[in-house]
Amino acid sequence: MIIPLVLDPDALEASRVDGDAGNVQSHALQLLKHLRAAGVLLVDDRGLLVSRMRQRCDSVRDLAIQKLLEQLLVQYRCGSRRAIMVPCSASLAADSEQAYPLAVVKELAQAYGPEAAVVASSEDWDSPGHVPAVALRAYVGSDLASSLETALSQRPSLDKIGLSQAEKLIRPALQFSKVLRIYDYVISAHKTANLKSYLRGISWIVDFWTRHISSSIATNARLEIYSRYTSMSNCEQVESELLIPLSRMFRHLNISFISKQDTNRVIHRRWLESDCAIICFDSGFDIYKLDSDILKRNILSLDNDSYIYTRENRQLHTRWEWTF
């Protein structure tokens, strides 16, 4: 549902992107559109790749490409999930102008195993971590382009694909995330909430996440659950039937449950939000039918543009909070 990749900013160099040779502009434009819709760009925590991207943004003369690059950089600064910073331990000299962009890209590929690397020329790529390279001028029609198009259109249902296949789909959205947020207004809104099913559904997601999170970002990982406040008795029930059992299952994890005052019914859709993606669970996180091992019809869809709404949810007044 989300495709992680690495990009050598020098592939966007003006001398390579401008001009008619190989029609590189159309490839760059399509790559950036796909990245904006269904990809996540891995960048180093030293800022080398982002810095070089800013330089390339200034040098690209194609206005459409420049606009998409600027959007990507702005969204990166705002934390809206188009790019995610991951640790990079390479002892690379910042003044090594010819070597460092591609060297950083290779290290990230080796350490994090993205779907592919987009580079200026695949001839310079020695497949670190068995990650394939796609030359920018060959992007349109590539396997990477096809994967991004497929990721955007996927709308599977849990009851049709099962949990094992669902894990394969959501793993890239979770493995680079230090914080996981769940939004489901029903959890503390109704006395009749199926809390046993919520426990099973949320623990499935959290167990999968904690088993696959990259070890370099796992320290102080945090789970936040947001719901709608209706009464203290409902919250007490959530504490005893959901939160205490969760805290016993995942003692190493920081867990918070925040029940929001939501008189205008802002909290509605059910989202799983990681540091690099937002996935809508249309039927919520009580994924099983009542008192059953049968999965409910629950359609999953990528919903990255809803970060403005998840942020709005978090900004609502907190009526009750539980922290472990």
Confidence band, pLDDT 50/70/90 cuts, at residue 295: very high
pTM of the model: 0.85
User: pLDDT by residue (tens digit) across 209-249?
Assistant: 999 887 767 778 999 999 999 899 999 999 999 999 999 99
Q: Indicate if the alpha-carbon torsion angle 128, 129, 135, 138 is positive or negative.
A: positive
CATH of span 156-323 = 3.30.870
Residue ranges of domains in the chain: 3-151, 156-323
CATH of span 3-151 = 3.40.50
> Which pLDDT does position 21 carry in this prediction?
45
> Which pLDDT does position 242 carry in this prediction?
95
Q: How large is the average pLDDT for residues 52-59? A: 77
> Which pLDDT does position 297 carry in this prediction?
95
What is the rounded (10 degree) CA torsion for 194, 226, 273, 65?
140
User: pLDDT by residue (tens digit) across 62-91?
Assistant: 677 777 777 676 655 555 556 677 777 655
> Which span out of 28-37, 54-63, 186-195, 244-253 was modeled with the highest average pLDDT?
244-253
Query: Could you give the C-alpha distances from 240 to 195, 196, 237, 261, in angstroms and in order?
Result: 10, 11, 5, 21
Of residues 26 and 191, the one with the higher pLDDT is: 26
| Nearest CA-CA partner of 88 in 108, 116, 106, 109 | 108
Of residues 204 and 96, the one with the higher pLDDT is: 204
Burial class (CB in 10 A: 0-12, 13-18, 19+), 234: buried
On the CB side of 130, CA atoms within 13 Å amount to: 0
